């Protein structure tokens, strides 16, 4: 069995706790042209990542392809964050009409915990999963039915056709969005003399959008440039 995740930080945690290799696929599918996954150009494969070695991404895709062609068992870890959700959709599409088997662990980003006391735990993304919780999440693993796999592959196909600049989780639905979707939120953070780095830091801490710091910087610079 090969474990797969779309969050590179979580992949390290997972590998440490499972004591076995974990396939990390930080494809950054929330942002940018989805058709880039059809190219063999490493620069295009990781063009939106900004923090991932394109060669590493390409090698991970080669490893995945080999596992699928051998009809292996894949256990994918994902959440409702757009990058994870898109990754799961994409993986279901890759496994269509193959002998590979798929299992999933859908990690809840909000749940009640009872240690050391009763509390509501909310995660921004899978990078915040504690190593001690991996054993608990393993109990959530389940086989992915053919119908579910097909439904997610259809969702992927539809999003590729739309191929918008951005994908967001809107009220529990994964939808395409324009690149300025969050601009009004960013504009409210801009104040005279306030450094961009401070705005970015606050956005990352206050809002669980799953967007990287470089994306915030690019949008803020665009907004400021249009103000004249």
The pLDDT tens digits for 140-164 are: 999 999 999 999 999 999 999 999 9
Residue 123 and residue 188: Cα distance in Å, rounded? 25
Report strand pairing: 110-113 vs 119-122. antiparallel
Q: Residue 223: CA atoms inside 13 Å, Cβ hemisphere, count?
A: 20
Confidence of residue 228 (pLDDT cuts 50, 70, 90): low
- Mean pLDDT check: name the lowest of 31-40, 60-69, 156-165: 31-40
DSSP 31: B
DSSP 52: S
pLDDT exceeds 80 at position 192: yes
Q: What percent of the chain has pLDDT over 70?
A: 89
Q: Report pLDDT for 114.
A: 63
CA distances from 31 to 14, 23, 82 (A): 25, 21, 9
The chain-wide mean pLDDT, for the chain, equals: 89
* Cβ atoms of residues 102 and 74 within 8 Å: yes
Mean pLDDT within 196-204: 91
Mean pLDDT within 171-178: 94
pLDDT exceeds 90 at position 39: no
Q: Report pLDDT for 122.
A: 79
List the one residue out of 5, 19, 176, 128 whose CA is nearest residue 75: 5
Give the global pTM: 0.90
Structure tokens that stand for 178 in this block: 């324009």
Q: Report pLDDT for 88.
A: 98
List the one residue out of 121, 100, 132 whose CA is nearest residue 208: 121
Residue 29 and residue 94: Cα distance in Å, rounded? 15
CA distances from 17 to 13, 23, 46, 67, 81 (A): 6, 14, 27, 22, 22
Q: pLDDT, tens digit, for every residue of 75-124?
A: 999 999 999 999 999 999 999 999 999 999 999 988 766 666 666 677 88
pLDDT exceeds 80 at position 70: yes
Structure tokens that stand for 216 in this block: 């915030």
- Mean pLDDT check: name the lowest of 58-72, 78-92, 117-131, 177-191: 117-131
């Amino acid at each position: 069995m090969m474990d797969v995740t779309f969050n590179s930080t979580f992949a390290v945690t997972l590998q440490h706790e499972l004591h076995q290799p974990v396939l990390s696929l930080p494809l950054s599918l929330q942002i940018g042209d989805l058709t880039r996954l059809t190219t063999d150009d490493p620069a295009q494969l990781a063009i939106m990542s900004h923090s991932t070695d394109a060669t590493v991404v390409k090698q991970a895709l080669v490893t995945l392809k080999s596992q699928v062609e051998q009809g292996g068992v894949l256990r994918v870890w994902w959440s409702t964050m757009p990058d994870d959700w898109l990754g799961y959709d994409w993986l279901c599409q890759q496994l269509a009409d193959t002998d590979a088997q798929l299992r999933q662990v859908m990690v809840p980003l909000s749940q009640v915990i009872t240690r050391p006391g009763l509390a509501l735990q909310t995660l921004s993304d899978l990078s915040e999963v504690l190593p001690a919780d991996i054993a608990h999440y393993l109990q959530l693993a389940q086989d992915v039915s053919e119908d579910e796999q097909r439904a997610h592959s259809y969702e992927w196909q539809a999003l590729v056709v739309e191929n918008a600049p951005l994908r967001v989780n809107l009220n529990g639905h994964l939808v395409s969005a324009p690149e300025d979707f969050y601009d009004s939120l960013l504009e409210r953070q801009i104040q005279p003399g306030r450094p961009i780095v401070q705005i970015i830091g606050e956005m990352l801490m206050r809002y669980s959008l799953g967007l990287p710091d470089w994306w915030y910087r690019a949008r803020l610079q665009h907004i400021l440039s249009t103000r004249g």
